[in-house]
Amino acid sequence: MPKPGTPKGASISADERFRLVVEAAPNAMVLIDQGGLISMVNAATERLFGYQRAELLGQPVEMLVPESHRGHHAGLREGFFRNAQSSRPMGAGRDLFARHKDGSQIPVEIGLNPIQTDKGLMVLSAIVDISDRAQKLQRLNETLQARTQELEAVNHELEAFAYSVSHDLRAPLRSMDGFSLALLEDYSDRLDDTGKDYLTRIRRGAVRMAQLIDDLLKLSRVTRAGIAPQPTDLSALAQEVVTELRQLDPRRQVAVSIAPHLQAIADPHLIRVVLDNLLGNAWKFTNRRADAAIGFRAGSIDNRPGFQVFDNGVGFDMAYAHKLFAPFQRLHTASEFEGTGIGLATVARIIRRHGGEIRIDSMPNGGTTISFTLQARESTDV
Ligand X SMILES: Nc1ncnc2c1ncn2[C@@H]1O[C@H](COP(=O)(O)OP(=O)(O)OP(=O)(O)O)[C@@H](O)[C@H]1O
Which residues lie near ligand X (CB under 6 A)? Answer: 215, 277, 281-282, 285, 311, 313-316, 324, 330-332, 339-345, 368
Per CB under 5 A, the list member of 107, 315, 343, 356 interacting with Mg ion is 343
Rounded to 5 degrees, what are φ and ψ at 339?
A: 145, 165
We find the least distance from the C-beta atom of residue 293 to ligand X, in angstroms, to be: 12
Question: Given the complex with ligand X, which of 19 and 272 has the nearer CB atom?
Answer: 272
Which residues have CB under 8 Å from 59's CB, separation 6+?
37, 38
Question: Given the complex with Mg ion, which of 306 and 341 has the nearer CB atom?
Answer: 341
We find the least distance from the C-beta atom of residue 302 to Mg ion, in angstroms, to be: 25
Q: Which of residues 276-335 bind Mg ion (CB under 5 A)?
A: 281
Which of ligand X, Mg ion, none does 332 bind, CB closer than 5 to 8 A by kind?
A: ligand X
- Are the C-beta atoms of 241 and 283 separated by less than 8 Å? no
Which of ligand X, Mg ion, none does 299 bind, CB closer than 5 to 8 A by kind?
A: none
We find the least distance from the C-beta atom of residue 174 to ligand X, in angstroms, to be: 22
Question: Given the complex with ligand X, which of 81 and 310 has the nearer CB atom?
Answer: 310
Pairwise CA distance, residues 6 & 18, whole Å? 13
Question: Looking only at Cα atoms, what is the longest distance across the chain?
Answer: 120
Question: Given the complex with ligand X, which of 49 and 316 has the nearer CB atom?
Answer: 316
Q: Taking the CA atoms of 248, 250, 255 and 261 in sequence, report the sign of the dihedral they define.
A: positive
- Are the C-beta atoms of 23 and 43 separated by less than 8 Å? yes
Which of these ranges, 31-39, 163-171, 240-248, 341-349, lies near Mg ion under the rule CB under 5 A? 341-349
Which of Mg ion, ligand X, none does 296 bind, CB closer than 5 to 8 A by kind?
A: none
Dihedral (C-alpha) 118, 119, 120, 124: value to the nearest 10 degrees?
A: -100
Pairwise CA distance, residues 151 & 145, whole Å? 10
Cα–Cα nearest to 59, from 45, 76, 79: 45
Q: Which residues bind Mg ion (CB under 5 A)?
A: 281, 343
